[in-house]
Structure 1
Amino acid sequence: MPFNLAFPSRWHLRPLALCLAASLLLAVPVMASSADIARSFQVAAAPLGQALRQFAGQAGILLSAEGRLTQGKTSGGLRATVSVSVGLQQLLAGTGLIAVQLADGSYIVRLAPAVATVDGQWQTLAPVKVTGLADDGYRLRSSSTASRSEQALLNTPQAVSVVTGQLIRDQAMQNMADAMRYMPGVGTAAGEGNRDTAIFRGNSSTSDFYIDGMRDDVQYYRDFYNVDSVEAVKGSNAMIFGRGGAGGIINRVTKQPAWTDAASATVSLGAWQARRATLDVQNTVGENAAVRLNAMLEDSASFRQGVQLRRAGINPTFAWKAGPATRVMIGYEHFRDDRVTDRGVPSYRGRPYATDPSTFFGNASVSPSWVRIDAFSAVIEHELGGGAVLRNRTRYADYDKFYQNAFPSAVSADGTSVTALAYNSATVRRNLFNQTDISWTVQGGGLRHQLGAGLELGRQRTDNLRNTGYFASLGENVTRISLPTARPVTDVPITFRPSATDADNHGVADTAALYLQDQLIFSPHWQAIVGLRHERFTVDFLNRRTDERLRRTDRPWSPRAALVYQPVDTVSLYASLSQAFLPRAGEQLASLTPDNQAFEPERFRNVELGAKWEATPSLSASAAVYQLERSNVAVIDPTDSQRSVLVDGQRSRGLELELNGKLTRSWQIAGGYAWQQAVLTATQSAGAVAGASVAHVPRHSLSLWNRYDFMPDWGAALGLILRSPVFAAVSNTVSLPGYGRLDGALYYRPSARFGLQLNLENLLNHQYYASAHSNDNIAPGTPRLLRVSAAWHF
């Protein structure tokens, strides 16, 4: 996060539409002028971020640096009489960073570009002057998610969408569905009303979620109380992430100690008795340690009848400078979420059943869903010298998840009744993962090699138990009842017990993987990235119902290759090829059967062409076109129902456009557009035939959020979300209508210590359907929602 946020001093009263046209036509970079006077500096050796703050205070300048750039880096300090430019250059020497002076006289720390001298040696640029604003706002310049080492997004040959901390705050985002609206090519499904489900370029997943680069794959709703940013890396990439990640992954970057003394608290109240409070406190402990505590408490109802939500979380973290070249970060999180499982409404005659959005189908009182998570994480980072860095990450997480539901199925032909059924499911999982990465730079023969290598070890122990709901008062084996659509609720007692086919499984999955990647820099204009990962993934699976034990081991090789061309410093063009695999154990380790255990994993291959442009120092744009193919899909042999065969089952094609950053001093924008076409290329069942469109994939989708600050203490925002129709299931018999939604916000910050914010979702109160799980589980969109938040900064 930036050290400082500079608000513009002048008022901008031009209408928003005129400002857009003018800024796009007239925004021209201008070189800023400044005097470079020698001054005396006494900056102690410290973590880099802390040293830069000392320097900025002594120099009397505004200096901004993203925490992710300075994190893990140290400075030997500065005791000299030098100019500001020379002082910054000395502080940043050997860090791979540079200081850039902006048009308003402030400075910002950025990744240093590399240039070759005439003798073939590589040097980094000294501080330079460009135009722009110190605060990135809705734009992130670099990330370590896509490559496991900090790299400018401009040079990352893959589509990456980032929802920054400011965008999260400005929209009062709380969950994954909120963030995914602003990630082109990433959609959401209803997830049976109890979990996050992402659709990456036409591929559905409930497990391709990461936290600080470590796997977080249990099915639950994730919260943003301790999140600094959310990053979606799109396209298959098993070279970095291993199994899964068929169409991409989403990584949450958590808030870490920023080596400062600060605190903030927020209280939010909203429609339907929404109540939420968060706390963020951080302190330095001497010169070598820092702590941070994030906490959250929420108790809310919903526009849906009988639906309640209660959740709480606490996440302390501790950072320690163990030596001049060694940093340690330790964290613990306890998170709990209790809510009603909401499966939405059924369909009728190819569309969602026409009813009030608040109508609950089934029985909310017997549909609890809860999760309990205790997670420990540790990161050790050591600078080996010569630019080499060693990182070791460990994450142990204990998940306890349960959900139960009485929910709707098909509506009768005359529309007067709906079938209801029930079941529950429990999952207990313990994850232990250790990831070791090393990155270093080698120069020779006119080439520069930025090398990365890693070792991942992991074990997951999972127990799944499912029980069917029986309406015993109507008959011992009655599992379905009919309800009138005029009042589709039931209070008939339900008994839950195992049926002959319900799951009762125990599984152990072991992962061991090695990868090596080389980023070859041929010249200031050309780069190539090649990488290879070899993984050993073993599942030992026990079906407790039948005492049948199955075992499967896969040893896939996962390559990655890309070429990057930079015609100028602010533009990159790339082509990439990558792939991923999904073992037969399935994304939740519960689908291994005697029929499929002999089959090779499903394969996903992504071919992508893209362009990235830093239009100004505060505004970036990107475009990507791709084709993603899915193969090795196991289906029933049409000529022999007793055996299965493999087919090449799915193809996704698309275009993704994205724009993030500042158009003017006062105007920030975050938006994207996606065109997608995802179809089955082979018949997989009677309800999934070749040529069918993949479920939950809109042909067109657009999101656009604008924030305009009229003066230092007042601002407003307007957001637009558009989506074309989607099918609720691959059978293509039920369609969710396309929709448009307007959101808005007002911001008032009378002082640096206090701010008020009003968010209004669905301004026009348009009735729409947000997502679906199947043809008869469709989630209505939220009616007009008002939320007011107050924030205190100490």
Structure 2
Amino acid sequence: MIRLIILLICSFTVVYGQQASLEGVVRDAKQQVVPGVSVRLIELKRGKPSDVDGKFNFQGLKPGMYTLQASFVGYKTLQEKVNLVADKALHLDLELVEASNDLKEIVVVGYVSQNEKPITIGKLPIKPMDLPQSVVTLDKSLLEAQQVNRMSDVLMNTNGVYIFGATGGYQEEIAARGFSMASSNTFKNGMRYANGMISELSGVEKVEILKGSAAILYGNVAAGGVLNLVTKKPKFNFGGEISLRTGSWGMYKPSVDVYGGLSKNIAVRLNASAEQANSFRVGVSSERVYVNPSILFKLGKKTELIVEGDYLADQRTPDFGAGIINYQIVDIPRERFLGVAWSNIKSSQSSITTTLTHQINENWTLKWMNGWRQNASNLFSNTRPNAGTLISANGQWIRNLQKSEVEESYGITQLDLIGSLNLAGMKHQVLVGLDSDFYNTDTYAYNQFARYDTINVYASSLKTSRSDQPTMTPFTKTMAPIRRLGVYAQDLIHINGQWKILAGLRYSYQQTLSDVYAYATGKTTSTSNFDGAFSPRLGIVYKPSLDHALFASYSNSFTLNTGVDINNQALPPSLIDQYEVGAKNELWDGLISVNLTAYRILNNNLAQNALLNATTYSYVKEMAGSVQSEGVELDVMSKPIAGFTLSGGYSFNETKYVKSNTYIEGSLLKYNPRHTANLGVQYRYQGFQLGLTAVYIGERFAGRSTRVLVANDAYRLIALPAYVQADLTAGYTFKKMSLRARVANLGDVLSYNVHDDNSVNPIAPRNYSLTLTYGW
């Protein structure tokens, strides 16, 4: 498939004569940049939105006279004639005048296509059509229409990015292109957040997903991609909304969003919500509180500072789902909860970020971001089925108890210089930056409490004579500080209107320490590891016209390894090569975006058990294994057509062991479906909205991969069948009131998210929610 796409790209050429270009910046009367302005050339019947810095750009135009139009809700439409000269770039500074000081915010839905939406996760403000990488942006209008409440709702709009596990029911584990997105790959406003607890989305305005390698920008990240949650920002006009959502199993969620200006230079915003709910799993409940305040300071015409806080507290019943007997999922009622009644996990996460942006001049901007985060969790529950005692064939299960505590603090400082210049007759968009961050993690493990009680998972009643909460003794305390430093540079070179090159390089240095204190002996065992790695990036974009872009790219990332080699030396990082080719297209005058991407990801120095000298220690390893992820992705999105908006896509991925002395060569890695697809249809007419969202998750495997070195190995994979989930949404807005309804899992399908062979969590059955909103 990849060879076919490369052949198509190589054969797709168009001949051009002399061309002109048009660029500029849109500002308001206060000389503040205005993003999202519709800038159109009337004669071409085409337009582009201004980016996050208020900039717009048209390349590859025929010389001549055009009518330029700039329009945005709340401002008077600006229209003027422009004369474009061959082989020259015309620069314009546009100023929009407010139409009325009393105009309230109006959301224009579906106007901007997927290839026109600016993203912030890429640091350098590159238009998606100029980026040699696949990008997905899910904006406010879509998130509101679909009434998303969890990350699993968001990812129904993506292919190749999916939920693969829900360990204990208190987190949503995400994967992309066959690789897990751990906390190093998930960001909120550009700063990493810990995704070990369920994300709160009530304060989120946009979700950005950058597929493939992002190592040059963020250092030690997994190969599949990164995800960024963009929260709602302060506004100077006064407004807001209050809402109440209710739903199945006693779900109750009030929320508030208020914003306004305190002066001409200071604006604030506050998002807050509280949620209480039971579950379709009898005996399982949850409570959470979320607060997201932010304040914006205009420190001058060219300088602004935004300070954002974020606090989430979550308390719920840990639920490790159905059990497994002989690597088969236990056939018990969907609602049956197998845990002890008093099980509890308390989690919290708080953070503050400051972002200072200074526009040095028209072409150069300096951004300085500082962030601090603290999170903690306290788990006390039964152990997972099969992680402690196995469930016997007749359903008998001896429940053991577990207890753990985690405290983590994280901080980062990041400085970016972003700008553009003309050099050797070519335009350069440049990013130069450095970042430094740290983790301090303290993990408290307790001695397992064995044989707490016994139940039979098939019995009609799981009650036992024991309901006390015993005292557990501490086992170890692990302190694991991590220090990281990175420097990077990247340049998007506009060779001409058709050809662009994106090149960059990052160097990352990481210090990883570990001190394990054993309470029984009073002794501390210490280890240390120091790693450094270069992460290069090279991409080429060819644009035969404004509506088509072909690209090819290479990038490199790395993952750190634990353990030692046969000489007792720390293992170096595994270096991962990524190759990507694709085409981005705006068809029928930009009415439909169609993007096609193919990729190959290779880890040719995978750490695996060392065989030299026949060592039997699992921590002694060699860099001799190989894993390959290969796939194709198709994304389609339309602008409104007679009130209808369509989005959808398909992904094929195969992630397998290419070389291994531990697992069968050619066998697939766990959790990754070969096929995923999504389809969304939205219809809007005046204040009425109706939508259908569906996702297809193909067959995948959990359990444990068979080990080739173990005779009569008991490990087995568990095949999880494919399924389709569909959600139906409807809403009506009249003046200041909105009523929205949602029916999730319309077909009441049953499937599972499985982590290894010990947390088998069924997805929720058919359920509903109803949201009433008052805005002003």
- Compute the TM-score of the two structures, normalised by the length of structure 2: 0.83
For residues 13-28 of structure 1, the aligned pairs below 5 Å read none
Contact 2:516 2:526 in 1 (8 A): yes
Deviations 1:429-488 (A, max 9, x none): 1111011111111213221111111010112211111224314667xxxxxx56443255
Percent of pairs with identical residues: 21
Q: Which amino acid aligns with 1:189?
A: F
Contact 2:561 2:607 in 1 (8 A): no
Rounded to whole Å, the distance in 1 between the matches of 2:246 and 2:400 is: 35
Partner of 1:382, secondary structure, is strand
Partner of 2:196, secondary structure, is coil
Taking a change above 3 Å as real, the CA distance of residues 50 and 189 of structure 1, as seen in their structure-2 partners, is closer
CA drift of 1:543 comes to 1.2
Contact 2:504 2:537 in 1 (8 A): yes
Give 1:780's aligned residue.
Answer: 762
Contact 1:584 1:596 in 2 (8 A): no
Give 1:463's aligned residue.
Answer: 442
Give 1:601's aligned residue.
Answer: 573
CA drift of 1:424 comes to 2.4
Rounded to whole Å, the distance in 1 between the matches of 2:164 and 2:264 is: 47
CA drift of 1:511 comes to 1.3
Give 1:611's aligned residue.
Answer: 583
Give 1:380's aligned residue.
Answer: 356
Rounded to whole Å, the distance in 1 between the matches of 2:565 and 2:688 is: 60
For residues 546-625 of structure 1, the aligned pairs below 5 Å read 546-584=523-561, 598-615=570-587, 616-617=589-590, 619-625=592-598
Aligned counterpart for 1:658 among listed residues 624, 632, 635: 635
Taking a change above 3 Å as real, the CA distance of residues 178 and 310 of structure 1, as seen in their structure-2 partners, is same
CA drift of 1:347 comes to 2.7
In the alignment, does 2:511 pair up with 1:526?
no
Q: Which amino acid aligns with 1:394?
A: N
Contact 1:161 1:231 in 2 (8 A): yes
Taking a change above 3 Å as real, the CA distance of residues 426 and 625 of structure 1, as seen in their structure-2 partners, is same
CA drift of 1:411 comes to 5.8
CA drift of 1:419 comes to 5.0
Aligned counterpart for 2:744 among listed residues 739, 761, 771: 761
Aligned counterpart for 1:749 among listed residues 733, 755, 758: 733
Aligned length: 691
Give 2:128's aligned residue.
Answer: 153
Taking a change above 3 Å as real, the CA distance of residues 164 and 173 of structure 1, as seen in their structure-2 partners, is same
Rounded to whole Å, the distance in 2 between the matches of 1:108 and 1:350 is: 67
Rounded to whole Å, the distance in 2 between the matches of 1:402 and 1:600 is: 33
In the alignment, does 2:143 pair up with 1:168?
yes
Give 1:274's aligned residue.
Answer: 251
Give 1:30's aligned residue.
Answer: none
CA drift of 1:46 comes to 4.4
For residues 406-555 of structure 1, the aligned pairs below 5 Å read 406=382, 407-409=384-386, 412=391, 414-418=393-397, 420-471=399-450, 483-486=456-459, 487=461, 491=466, 493=468, 495=470, 497=472, 503-545=476-518, 546-555=523-532
Give 1:393's aligned residue.
Answer: 369
CA drift of 1:652 comes to 0.9
Rounded to whole Å, the distance in 2 between the matches of 1:673 and 1:494 is: 49
Q: Which amino acid aligns with 2:380?
A: Q
Rounded to whole Å, the distance in 2 between the matches of 1:695 and 1:288 is: 53
Q: Which amino acid aligns with 1:778?
A: V
Taking a change above 3 Å as real, the CA distance of residues 292 and 619 of structure 1, as seen in their structure-2 partners, is farther
CA drift of 1:312 comes to 0.8
In the alignment, does 2:245 pair up with 1:257?
no
Give 1:673's aligned residue.
Answer: 650
Aligned counterpart for 1:635 among listed residues 596, 605, 608: 608
Aligned counterpart for 1:44 among listed residues 29, 36, 40: 29
Rounded to whole Å, the distance in 2 between the matches of 1:142 and 1:254 is: 16
Contact 1:332 1:376 in 2 (8 A): yes
Rounded to whole Å, the distance in 2 between the matches of 1:464 and 1:101 is: 52
In the alignment, does 2:675 pair up with 1:700?
yes
Rounded to whole Å, the distance in 2 between the matches of 1:415 and 1:663 is: 57
- Runs of 5+ consecutive residues of structure 1 not aligned to the other structure: 1-41, 56-63, 74-83, 89-98, 110-114, 128-132, 475-480, 586-590
Rounded to whole Å, the distance in 2 between the matches of 1:389 and 1:730 is: 50
Q: Which amino acid aligns with 1:507?
A: A
Rounded to whole Å, the distance in 2 between the matches of 1:190 and 1:447 is: 48
Root mean square deviation of aligned Cα: 3.3
Partner of 1:168, secondary structure, is helix
Partner of 2:703, secondary structure, is coil
Partner of 1:385, secondary structure, is coil
In the alignment, does 2:770 pair up with 1:791?
no
Rounded to whole Å, the distance in 1 between the matches of 2:369 and 2:49 is: 21
Deviations 1:512-537 (A, max 9, x none): 11000011111101100000001111
Rounded to whole Å, the distance in 2 between the matches of 1:544 and 1:283 is: 51
Taking a change above 3 Å as real, the CA distance of residues 749 and 495 of structure 1, as seen in their structure-2 partners, is same
Give 1:61's aligned residue.
Answer: none
Rounded to whole Å, the distance in 2 between the matches of 1:720 and 1:205 is: 23
Taking a change above 3 Å as real, the CA distance of residues 774 and 107 of structure 1, as seen in their structure-2 partners, is farther
Taking a change above 3 Å as real, the CA distance of residues 43 and 392 of structure 1, as seen in their structure-2 partners, is closer
Q: Which amino acid aligns with 1:206?
A: A
Rounded to whole Å, the distance in 2 between the matches of 1:118 and 1:792 is: 53
Rounded to whole Å, the distance in 2 between the matches of 1:108 and 1:693 is: 57
Contact 1:467 1:496 in 2 (8 A): no
Aligned counterpart for 1:691 among listed residues 653, 663, 666: 666
CA drift of 1:539 comes to 1.6
Rounded to whole Å, the distance in 2 between the matches of 1:359 and 1:592 is: 44
Partner of 1:219, secondary structure, is coil
Contact 1:218 1:399 in 2 (8 A): no
Q: Which amino acid aligns with 1:628?
A: I
For residues 60-75 of structure 1, the aligned pairs below 5 Å read 69=52
| Between 712-721 and 632-641, the greater mean CA deviation after superposition | 632-641
Contact 1:106 1:134 in 2 (8 A): no
Give 1:369's aligned residue.
Answer: 345
Rounded to whole Å, the distance in 2 between the matches of 1:596 and 1:47 is: 59
Rounded to whole Å, the distance in 1 between the matches of 2:642 and 2:77 is: 15
- Runs of 5+ consecutive residues of structure 2 not aligned to the other structure: 1-26, 40-46, 57-65, 95-106, 706-715
| Between 140-149 and 352-361, the greater mean CA deviation after superposition | 140-149
Rounded to whole Å, the distance in 1 between the matches of 2:649 and 2:379 is: 35
- Compute the TM-score of the two structures, normalised by the length of structure 1: 0.81
Taking a change above 3 Å as real, the CA distance of residues 564 and 473 of structure 1, as seen in their structure-2 partners, is closer
Partner of 1:169, secondary structure, is helix
Rounded to whole Å, the distance in 2 between the matches of 1:67 and 1:225 is: 27
Contact 2:148 2:154 in 1 (8 A): yes
Contact 2:342 2:381 in 1 (8 A): no
Contact 1:600 1:632 in 2 (8 A): no
Give 2:176's aligned residue.
Answer: 200
Taking a change above 3 Å as real, the CA distance of residues 718 and 50 of structure 1, as seen in their structure-2 partners, is closer
Give 2:110's aligned residue.
Answer: 136
| Between 779-788 and 619-628, the greater mean CA deviation after superposition | 619-628
Contact 1:660 1:670 in 2 (8 A): yes
Deviations 1:192-241 (A, max 9, x none): 22323111211123312111111223522111111111111111221011
Contact 2:564 2:621 in 1 (8 A): no
Give 1:682's aligned residue.
Answer: 659
Rounded to whole Å, the distance in 2 between the matches of 1:354 and 1:447 is: 65
For residues 89-100 of structure 1, the aligned pairs below 5 Å read 99=70
Deviations 1:52-100 (A, max 9, x none): 89x9xxxxxxxx9979725799xxxxxxxxxx977x7xxxxxxxxxx37
Taking a change above 3 Å as real, the CA distance of residues 320 and 52 of structure 1, as seen in their structure-2 partners, is farther
Give 2:90's aligned residue.
Answer: 123
Give 1:738's aligned residue.
Answer: 722
Partner of 2:246, secondary structure, is strand
Rounded to whole Å, the distance in 1 between the matches of 2:361 and 2:244 is: 46
